[in-house]
Amino acid sequence: MRTNPRKFNVPIASERIPWCDTGIFLNERPSFTLDPIFHSGAYYVQEASSMFVEQAFRQIEHSKNRIVLDLCAAPGGKSTHLLSLLDSSDLLVANEVIRSRVSVLDENIRKWGHQNVVVCSNDPADFSDLDGMFDVMLVDAPCSGEGLFRRDASAIQQWSVDNTNLCSTRQRRILADVWPALKNGGYLIYSTCTFNPAENEENLKWLAENNEVESIRIPLQENWGVEEIETDGMFGYRFLPHKVKGEGFFLTLIRKKDGSDSYPISKKMKSRFENMPKQFAEIRNWLSTSDSGFFAKSEFLIAFPESKIPVLNALSEQLRVISFGLPVAQFKKNDLLPEHTFALSVDRNPDVFESIELDLRDALLFQKKDEIRISSTTKGWLLVKYQGVPLGFVKNLGNRANNYFPKEWRIRMTLPELPEPWYRL
């Protein structure tokens, strides 16, 4: 699993994943459903090998105001990882072409708590007109899944030579479609969870034969067990399950050396989004950031980095944008109701709402959207926490507290006798 560094520190005694600063191994799988901070974006349960994306990203020349695309983003593991690696001046565009998977991507990003993100649902071909838009692209391509054989018997049953060939063809189509949107000098991180050379090394060779590229080497530690492979001057990194503590995986980092230098973004373009009504100006104090613009969308006030508004307008002209920024509050006439996603935000001003700590059972009852008793004498909106991690809002009426946990995210299982959380052992 990988922790959210803005919410939760890595437990000191944990076994670390060597290629990820916030990644740890657990000795056994606990019930994450019965851990309140899991539902609040304090950590993400993710396969260890795929966290190697961090090492690739660290080889990219650092600059501010980067626009980064995660093309095949659901369910959100690599997107949330990228959000932790990016600066606040950067923008992440998290895309998922399969509509049925977009909601879980959006949920996981909301829980992670950042506002410098846009979620969209588009085919790779839809990005081809965004010529030179992105500084970095991550393409975790759909593949034949050979790297999952050890843990997933169904992956073996679904494998066939025809499917590997189909995957290779589809991967090349995806890369060809999005390649124009990567700017000259931009970086492509390409990965799969398979071993098949047709989907990995041969795709690298094909990309180099048809474009001006530079292969970027990633420094390795010998004790990691990761293999560096070279094909005609192109370097890739292969994770074999009997050599690493993780599943099968492949990754490469490439720098583009042709194409457009940048996408022409007009700051004079008419915004597609309505500005926040002036009577709600107080909400600016709810965030600890200074570079946030505010929009009104359907009765919700949304914060988004002011400097990235022209980019958002340009993306909205070409793409099907599902969500953007941070929903801070809902407004009804002149009343403001703080949003659950605002409670989970890493940019929330801690001085705006009084907070109270819950024990484990009450925290889970809150996330089941059941009634809980609040000991505070303060009436109105209260932020509830568990182990110091914000969980959401209640409205204390004195004789009872209304629970504002989102109905669609609630825990549905019956609560058993509760174990101690893994991070307190």
Please identify which of the residues 20, 143, 167, 193 carries the catalytic annotation: 193
Q: What is the DSSP string of 156-170?
A: HHT--HHHHHHHHHH
Q: Dihedrals φ, ψ of 264, to 5°?
A: -75, 105
CA distance linking residue 199 with residue 174, whole number of Å: 12
Amino acid (1-letter code) at residue 75: P
Residues ≥6 apart with Cβ < 8 Å to 276: 283, 294, 295, 296, 301
> Of the candidates 341, 366, 367, 363, which has an alpha carbon nearest to the alpha carbon of residue 286?
341
**Is 401 labelled as part of a ligand binding site?**
no
**Is 140 labelled as part of a ligand binding site?**
yes
CA distance linking residue 163 with residue 174, whole number of Å: 16
Assess contact for 86 and 68: CB atoms under 8 A: yes
Residue 193 annotated to the active site? yes
Residues ≥6 apart with Cβ < 8 Å to 325: 115, 117, 118, 295, 302, 303, 304, 305
Residues ≥6 apart with Cβ < 8 Å to 219: 55
> Of the candidates 29, 8, 175, 235, which has an alpha carbon nearest to the alpha carbon of residue 167?
175
DSSP letter at 273 equals S
**Is 123 labelled as part of a ligand binding site?**
yes
**Is 73 labelled as part of a ligand binding site?**
yes
CA distance linking residue 193 with residue 219, whole number of Å: 21
**Is 76 labelled as part of a ligand binding site?**
yes
**Is 20 labelled as part of a ligand binding site?**
no
**Is 96 labelled as part of a ligand binding site?**
yes
CA-angle at 379, arms to 360 and 374, nearest 5° = 20
**Is 126 labelled as part of a ligand binding site?**
no
Q: Which residues are designated catalytic?
A: 193
- Pick out the residues of the known binding site for S-adenosyl-L-methionine: 72-78, 96, 123, 140
